[in-house]
């Protein structure tokens, strides 16, 4: 998805690419920036050198004059050096993949030496390309814009989730008319300590693809007939496509199982999705990503309706009597999904699992109360994880059934004030190709429907004014230019 945004200037809702399969891509409606250049100026010389070949194979295609897929970052950089030293390119795209390899192998972190070393190696390759650029004989008369960016961040050895670490990227621009400045996110607000009606205690915070896993048990196997209820308390500021609590692979709402998430793609309301593998039902609640604690509840009456409650109040109900088995493998997950994907950013606590449908009165009366022997449906309780241990990876099941969970990457903390950042003025990946096109004096048409905006106000014609006789734009006055003049002989020129 990142490389599609970098080339097409639109987000995944338009280019339709959500993973490396490129299934459903919509490059016909939203072509890449090199294709737009080729369409508008076929006489311009362009090159695309990619270490990861699917970028050329799926996105660029034949829209560049030279398309190569070297097997190394050094090879890709050398293609650019050769073009700058021996040719007259107007636009070049180069992809270097070594930091991604290192991140997946060792970790995407500034504390991981192999990852840092791979970045330094890529810096050296960029240096070689820039040296070749400034050594061009006509460099002083040319107007080059160099843009450097990356398609994603990372956390641990993975990326693709919704955490800030995985979505954080940089955009660097250098050239004539580019002022030296740092554009960083602003502080939008500082939220006070969230009030917790269950009292102050340690909480387990999830980020990236951290999660807690409840081992497989028949107590969580519901088939097509077993009623059940799930309750939990969550605290987050990110209304994203995440799996807060559930039992399923959240890559598709049609995958069997159930999950607490947010309305796709960015809320603001929360939701519950439930599916038997062929049909799905979705229930929607109000916004909850405000940095405060909220109790989310869902009752599943298998031959009737499912109901969701927000802080003890009914939010939605839908018929689920037509759904079959909701089983996956008898496990439960908090913070991310069954495949450790779609991780949330926030805290989960007080997860309660019942093998019965709780009444509206029970949910309202107990949504912000500690669970005791006085609960009317205590006999139906099958799992109860308070998630308040404060340290370690052992997460006790207080129901008495021994379904103790394991913490996989969650961090213990306390309820502290949260800083909410405003990224409104920071560069986005979709801005990169629009900035490149604008620099080449391409008019960004409104009907293109691009999501990006030019980051700079520069516009430099690729052909230097000092060589107006170079009619075909190849950097030299040749017989071809003479033929172009003769072809126009006898025509009348008007303003």
* pLDDT tens-digit map of 377-420: 999 999 999 999 999 999 999 999 999 999 999 999 876 655 66
Give pLDDT, residue 159: 81
Whether residue 414 is found in the same domain as residue 438 = no
Task: List the one residue out of 432, 479, 476 whose CA is nearest residue 453.
Answer: 432
Task: Give a yes or no: residue 192 inside a domain.
Answer: no
pLDDT at 200 over 90: no
Check whether residue 456 and residue 368 sit in a common domain: no
* CATH number of the domain that residue 268 is part of: 2.60.120.200
- Tokens, residue 164: 């800030």
Q: How many domains does the chain have?
A: 3
378 and 368 share a domain?
yes
> Do 445 and 491 sit in the same domain of this protein?
no
331 and 450 both lie in a single domain: no
Strands 66-68 and 46-50: parallel
Q: Is residue 197 part of a domain?
A: no
The DSSP letter of residue 335 is: S
* Residue 349: its H or E element: strand 346-354
CA angle at residue 416 from 410 to 420, to 5 degrees? 90
The Cα 399–Cα 154 span in angstroms is 37
ω into residue 265 within 30 of 0, thus cis?
Answer: yes
| pTM confidence score | 0.59
In a domain, 7, yes or no: yes
Contacts of 82 (CB under 8 A, 6+ apart): none
CB neighbour list of residue 376: distance below 8 Å, 6 or more residues apart: 359, 362
Do 162 and 253 share a domain, yes or no? no
What pLDDT digit, counting tens, does each position of 306-354 carry? 999 999 999 999 999 999 999 999 999 999 999 998 999 899 999 999 9
Give the helix/strand (H/E) hosting 102.
Answer: helix 98-106
Asked whether residue 469 falls in the same domain as residue 324, the answer is: no
Contact between residue 270 and residue 297 where contact means Cβ atoms under 8 Å apart: no
| Token representation of residue 78 | 């050398």
Largest CA distance in the chain: 100
On whether both 220 and 158 belong to a single domain, the answer is no
| Shared-domain flag, residues 277 and 383 | yes
Reported as a single tens digit per residue, the pLDDT across 212-237 is 999 999 999 999 999 999 999 999 98
Residue 144 sits in the same domain as residue 276: no
Which range of residues forms the domain containing residue 443? 2-185+423-462
Structure tokens at 250: 């959240």
């Amino acid at each position: 998805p990142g490389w599609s945004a970098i080339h097409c200037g639109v987000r995944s809702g338009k280019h339709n690419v959500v993973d490396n399969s490129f299934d459903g891509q919509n490059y016909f409606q939203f072509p890449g920036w090199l294709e737009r250049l080729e369409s508008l100026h076929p006489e311009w010389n362009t090159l695309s050198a990619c270490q990861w070949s699917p970028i050329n194979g799926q996105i660029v295609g034949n829209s560049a004059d030279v398309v190569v897929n070297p097997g190394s970052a050094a090879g890709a950089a050398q293609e650019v050096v050769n073009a700058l030293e021996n040719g007259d390119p107007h636009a070049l795209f180069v992809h270097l993949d070594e930091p991604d390899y290192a991140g997946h192998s060792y970790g995407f972190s500034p504390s991981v030496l192999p990852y840092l070393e791979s970045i330094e190696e890529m810096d050296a390759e960029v240096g070689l390309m820039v040296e070749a650029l400034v050594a061009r004989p006509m460099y002083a008369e040319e107007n080059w814009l160099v843009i450097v960016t990356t398609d994603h961040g990372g956390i641990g050895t993975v990326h693709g989730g919704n955490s800030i670490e995985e979505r954080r990227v940089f955009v660097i621009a250098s050239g004539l008319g580019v002022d030296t400045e740092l554009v960083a996110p602003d502080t939008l607000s500082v939220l006070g300590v969230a009030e917790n009606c269950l009292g102050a205690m340690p909480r387990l915070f999830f980020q990236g693809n951290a999660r807690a896993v409840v081992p497989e048990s028949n107590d969580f196997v519901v088939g097509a007939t077993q009623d059940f209820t799930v309750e939990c308390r969550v605290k987050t500021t990110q209304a994203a496509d995440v799996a807060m609590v559930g039992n399923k692979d959240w890559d598709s709402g049609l995958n069997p199982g159930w999950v607490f998430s947010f309305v796709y793609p960015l809320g603001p309301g929360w939701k519950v999705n439930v599916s038997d593998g062929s049909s799905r039902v979705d229930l929607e609640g109000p916004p909850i990503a405000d940095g405060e604690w909220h109790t989310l509840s869902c009752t599943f009456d298998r031959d009737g309706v499912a109901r969701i409650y927000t802080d003890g109040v009914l939010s939605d109900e839908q018929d689920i009597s037509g759904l079959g088995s909701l089983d996956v493998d008898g496990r439960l997950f908090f913070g991310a999904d069954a495949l450790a994907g779609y991780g949330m950013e926030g805290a989960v606590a007080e997860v309660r699992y019942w093998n019965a449908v709780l009444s509206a009165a029970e949910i309202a009366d107990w949504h912000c109360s500690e669970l005791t022997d006085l609960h009317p449906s205590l006999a139906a309780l099958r799992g109860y994880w308070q998630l308040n241990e404060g340290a370690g990876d052992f997460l006790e099941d207080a129901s008495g059934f021994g379904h103790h969970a394991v913490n996989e990457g969650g961090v213990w903390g306390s309820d502290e004030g949260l800083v909410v950042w405003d990224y409104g003025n920071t560069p986005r990946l979709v801005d990169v190709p629009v900035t490149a096109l604008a620099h080449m004096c391409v008019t960004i048409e409104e009907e293109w429907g691009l999501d990006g905006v030019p980051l700079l106000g520069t516009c430099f014609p690729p052909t230097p004014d000092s060589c107006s006789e170079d009619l075909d734009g190849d950097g030299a006055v040749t017989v071809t230019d003479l033929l172009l003049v003769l072809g126009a002989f006898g025509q009348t020129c008007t303003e």
